[in-house]
Amino acid sequence: MDEERLNKMVDELYLFFPLFKKKLFKHKKKLKQNSMPHSYYHILKVLKKRGELPMSEIGRMVYISKSNMTSLIDKLVENGLAERLPDKNDRRVINIALTERGNDLLREWRKHSNNEIKMNLSTLSDDDLEKFYESVKNIKIILGKIGEI
């Protein structure tokens, strides 16, 4: 790809992410509990998918620094959404696990969030929805290749 086209693509990417968030994820995460930052939900989703993990591993998976992870985990534990558990194989390691309350909140948030996103997408024609679906699949595949050798 030539340099000019690559520069245009980079410029479009800077606009893409805010537009994507504004158009699809513009809803607020207000449920029965207080609204919570997206980072809490990302952490809870990782715990749901992977089970108990050390804080450093969670941070690596959600791209949050160790120093920021401590306060986020403290807040999740304080709200009863996660808990600290000693590692069975290494007593120096403390794992973080999803609680039942955290699981319930995650389920409720996902239901609410999915409904909001579907409502936002419902304004598109079937043809546009199909194109969008294929585009998202392709972007995911291509992004997965970045950094590979």
Domain at 116, CATH number = 1.10.10.10
Confirm whether 5 is domain-assigned: no
* Distance from C-alpha of 73 to C-alpha of 93, rounded to nearest angstrom: 15
Domain that holds residue 92: 34-124
* Distance from C-alpha of 8 to C-alpha of 20, rounded to nearest angstrom: 18
Helix (H, G, I), strand (E, B) or coil at 125: coil
The total number of structural domains that make up the chain: 1
Confirm whether 17 is domain-assigned: no
Tens of pLDDT along 78-106?
999 999 999 888 989 999 999 999 999 99
Confirm whether 23 is domain-assigned: no
Cβ proximity of 72 and 64 under 8 Å: yes
Confirm whether 7 is domain-assigned: no
Cα dist. 106→21, 52, 57, 59, 99 in Å? 20, 16, 20, 18, 10
Tens of pLDDT along 135-147?
999 998 998 888 7
pLDDT at 21: 79
Q: Which amino acid is at 100?
A: E
Confirm whether 136 is domain-assigned: no
